[in-house]
Amino acid sequence: MTVVLTASLVSISLAGCGTKADKPVQDAKLDSAASSDDTQVLESGEVALTIWMEEANFDNLSKMVESFKQEYAGQADFNITLEASADADTRKNVLGDIHSAADIFSMPDDQLYSMIAGGALSPVAEQDKIKNANLEEAVYAASYGDVVYAYPYTADNGYFLYYDKNYFTQEDVQTLDRILEVAAENDKKLSMEFNSGWYLYSFFGNTGLDFGINDDGVTNHCSWNSTEGAIKGVDVAQALLNVTQSPAFIAQPDSTFMDGVASGEVIAGVSGVWNAIAIQDAWGKDYGACKLPTYTVNGQQIQMASFTGYKMMGVNAYSEHLGWAHKLADWITNEENQTLRLEERSQGPSNKNAAASDAVASVPAIAAVIDQSQYGVLQRVGNSYWDPCTNFADIIAAGNPDNVPLQDLMDSLANGIAASAVQ
Q: Decide whether 21-155+309-366 matches 160-307+382-417 in CATH topology.
A: yes
Query: What are the pLDDT digits (tens) for 166-194?
Result: 999 999 999 999 999 999 999 999 999 99
Highest mean pLDDT among 4-8, 110-114, 220-224: 220-224
DSSP 115-158: HHHTT-BPPPSSHHHHHHHB-HHHHHHTEETTEE-SEEEE---S
Q: In this model, does residue 30 exceed pLDDT 70?
A: no
Asked if 188 contacts 250 with a C-beta cutoff of 8 angstroms, the reply is no
Rounded to an integer, the average pLDDT of 304-316 is 96
pLDDT of residue 420: 77
State percent of the chain over pLDDT 90.
80
pTM exceeds cut of 0.85: no
Asked if 2 contacts 124 with a C-beta cutoff of 8 angstroms, the reply is no
Across all residues in the chain, what is the average pLDDT?
90
Phi then psi for residue 289, to 5 deg, are -150, 145
Asked if 168 contacts 179 with a C-beta cutoff of 8 angstroms, the reply is yes
Give domain limits for the chain. 21-155+309-366, 160-307+382-417
Asked if 158 contacts 378 with a C-beta cutoff of 8 angstroms, the reply is no
CATH assignment, 21-155+309-366: 3.40.190.10
Q: In this model, does residue 130 exceed pLDDT 50?
A: yes
Per CATH, which fold does 160-307+382-417 belong to? D-Maltodextrin-Binding Protein; domain 2 (3.40.190)
**Calpha distance 422→411 (Å, rounded):** 19
Query: What are the pLDDT digits (tens) for 349-387?
Result: 999 999 999 888 888 999 999 899 889 999 888 889 999
Query: What are the pLDDT digits (tens) for 196-221?
Result: 999 999 999 999 999 999 988 789 99
Q: In this model, does residue 6 exceed pLDDT 50?
A: no
